[in-house]
Amino acid sequence: MKDRYFYLFVKNSARDNIAMRARRGENLDFNDLYSDFLDYQNSAFAKLKSGELKYAEPPIIMTFEIIIPDLIAKYHEDTNEYEIIKPITRSNVRFKLYDDTYKHTWPMGIPFTDVPELLEALPVLKESLPFQKPESIDGKYVYDNWVPMKTEKNGTWL
């Protein structure tokens, strides 16, 4: 069996010079991304728990930039744990995502800010979106550090 890894990216579009766009929405901007997140969080959760939905996909940010993960962890199937490889200062620290500790969050997934080992490895995580609610102006969510990815076509393509 191939090794499995967990990659976590905590990026600031402007600071890290990463042009981004939302996968779905009218303008494919930050407002579309965050609105999609709220819809996923608010309606998909209830539908998944009731069995009305079998699968729900969270919002996705797209980019063609080369980005490097801020955290890499290797999965150990024998113990059902992840072992942090990067950042090196937290290497060998292990954590679990799929045990009874986080069962109350299923099937929606675990807020990464609930995992102490992730917060210790990446303290900036607790100040990142969506854990911090963005400003809303005239009914639109605003993130001043968003660098839009310009595309000629809408939609998803490879």
More confident residue, 101 or 44: 44
Cα pseudo-dihedral 92, 97, 141, 43, rounded to 10: 170
Closest CA to 149 of 60, 28, 11: 28
CA triple 124-125-129, angle to 5 deg: 110
pLDDT over 80 at 70, yes or no: yes
What's the mean per-residue pLDDT of the chain?
A: 86
At residue 50, what are phi and psi to the nearest 5 degrees? -80, -15
Residue range 130-154, pLDDT digits in tens: 888 899 999 999 998 999 998 776 6
Residue with the bigger pLDDT between 81 and 104: it is: 81
The pLDDT score that the predictor gives to residue 52 is 85
- Per-residue pLDDT reduced to its tens digit, 13-49: 999 999 999 988 888 899 999 998 888 888 877 787 7
Look up the pTM and report it.
Answer: 0.81
Give the start-to-end residue ranges of the domains of the chain: 1-12+68-133, 21-62
- And the tokens for 12? 């600031």
Residue carrying the six token digits 């819809």: 39
Is 157 buried (19+), middle (13-18) or exposed (0-12) by CB count in 10 A? Answer: exposed
